Amino acid sequence: MDYETLVVERDGPVGWLVFNRPAAANAMDARMMHELEAAWLELDRDPGVRVIVNTGAGNAFQTGLDVAQLSRDPDALREQSRRTKRFELRFTAWHNDVSTPVIAAVNGVCAGGGLHFVADADIVIASATATFLDPHVSVGQASVYETIALAKKSPMEAILRMAFTGRHERVPAARAYELGIVSQVVDPPEQLRAEAQALGEKIARNPPDALAAVKRALRNALETA
Amino acid sequence: MTYPELETLRLERVGPVGWLFNNRPDQLNAMNSRMRDEFEVAWRALDADPEVRVIVHTGEGRAFQTGVDVTEIASDGEGMGRYRESVENFDFHFTAWHNEVWKPVITAVNGICAGGGFHWIADSDIVIAAADAQFFDPHVSIGQVVSIEAIGLMKRMPVEAVMRMAFVGRHERMSAARAYELGMVSEVVDPSDRLRAAAQELAEKIARNSPAAMAATKRALWGALELGLTDACRAGARELVSMWGHPDQEEGPRAFAEKREPRWQPLGDSNS
């Protein structure tokens, strides 16, 4: 597939999925949502890819739906609304049943729907300049899927605070590290991709079947209250 | 709106923020039977007041809350027996969660939080603490079992820390600094006497957001504690979709584009 909104490439055993709409802070338009599904499946099915790293080009990691673009594309908006309503989303690794380990490498701001990719990754690392916020309630939207998934894997108070303060407060990378939302803060920030590649190669030294079995077991554990 | 006169609690509104004070400072805000009953009245009053967008709960004096009033239990011949039925049926009405309050609730821990005091940590949304606040759970040190408040805490923070407090009892205290490290609280206010100002500021920040969207978010996130991940998302879909077509969903982006504060709809009856 020819990708317009993503860069999909390989570096040794590591498959890279890069959000590539830097001028739009990597917001998801209809095209990107379509391409994400294809990219996750392509990388997951490639036996040469042992680990997937997900990051963003430019200053932002991911800032959620591109509402302006979607409002100009009624068919795409209708389809996205239908999927959202039924929780049949297809844009993260979890949504697409990816069995390969996934590292999110948060290179900058991660806002609103961008939190899907933090919540649904297995491992999260961040550049020292990355920030996290959830502006949904500041624009009259409920915050649901992203924060539910984050609350299942992080201290809940921090997630409730992020959900209720909306765009009026940000969680810096250092605090995300303390809370265990990310496991590594990379400083200087320019080293993020190199560190993600190194971590990916470390994980790739372990047997793929064992990794997939562990991932299945641990993800399934999130399915009970 | 006029709030009811209470003996053991005090209610006050400052701007969009409704304040609930534990008000038995000489008894370290221990909860006697009267306070237990008055809590329900207090939460309902703040929840019903349309001017209140966010609720802050704190204590008068040097304690936040120290749980059931042991003096009352020990002196009046009834003991804990008076609570047997409500405990067995888990039929409580003294926290925001018990009363299904869907407005954001901030707990501002002003001093000692002990034993049953953890109910209000576990059952609130956001917790901040004064730098000299201290946390401990003396239940097992006086021959009592701790369960409900510790279970609530385990759902929202690292379990080991909760087990340690439960088993060490009154022989160890957790500092506000450690509570922050663990994510039990999100802010430590130093100097401690700035706690109320910090809580008011945080509440006003939150009050700038859509009340209906926050109520839907709160229902989805608290509902998620009862379910596994996929089921929680499916159940949350209902809350997400509840905002579609809501006037706030038009108003939010418009206010943002016009660089002004949004004018949100007040919470409707369906949200209370």
Predicted local distance difference test score (pLDDT) of residue B79: 79
Closest CA to A55 of A94, A113, A6, A10: A6
Determine which helix (DSSP H) or strand (DSSP E) holds B211, and give its type and residue range: helix B211-224
The answer to whether the CB atoms of B249 and A164 lie below 8 A apart is no
Per the DSSP assignment, residues forming a β-bridge with B113 are B65, B135
Mean of pLDDT values over B170-180:
98
Report which secondary-structure segment, H or E, holds B203. helix B195-206
ipTM of the complex: 0.94
Q: How far is B21 from chain A (nearest CA, A)?
A: 21
Which tokens sit at B258?
A: 């016009």
For residue B50, count CB atoms less than 10 angstroms from its CB and return exposed for 0-12, middle for 13-18, buried for 19 or more.
exposed
Q: Does A139 touch chain B (CB under 8 A)?
A: yes
pLDDT confidence tier of residue B271, bands split at 50, 70 and 90: very low
Mean pLDDT (whole number) for B207-232: 98
Residue among A176, A102, A191 nearest A133 (CA): A176
**Residue B269 pLDDT exceeds 80:** no
Tokens of B126: 């956001």
Say how far apart CA A196 and CA A16 lie, in whole Å: 10
Partner residue opposite B182 with nearest CB, options A138, A141, A155:
A155
What pLDDT is attached to residue B123? Answer: 98
Residue A154 in contact with partner chain B when CB distance is under 8 A? yes
Residue B272 has pLDDT above 50, yes or no: no
pLDDT of B15 > 60? The answer is yes
Mean pLDDT taken over chain B = 95
Band of residue B1 on the pLDDT scale cut at 50, 70, 90:
confident
pLDDT at B270: 46
* Residues from chain A contacting residue B157 (CB–CB below 8 Å): 155-157
The tens digit of pLDDT for each residue in B18-27 reads: 999 999 999 9
Residue B5's Cβ-count burial label (10 Å; 0-12, 13-18, 19+) is exposed
Spans in chain A with pLDDT lower than 70: none
Yes or no, beta carbons of B250 and A144 under 8 Å apart: no
Query: What percentage of chain B carries pLDDT values higher than 70?
Result: 99
Residue A47: burial class (beta carbons within 10 Å; 0-12, 13-18, 19+): exposed
Task: Tell whether the model's pLDDT for residue B16 goes beyond 80.
Answer: yes
Residue B118 pLDDT exceeds 80: yes
Q: Which residues of A touch B231 (CB under 8 A)?
A: 223
Range A128-144 burial, b when 16+ CB lie within 10 A, else e:
ebbbbbbbbbbbbbbbb
Residue B139 has pLDDT above 60, yes or no: yes
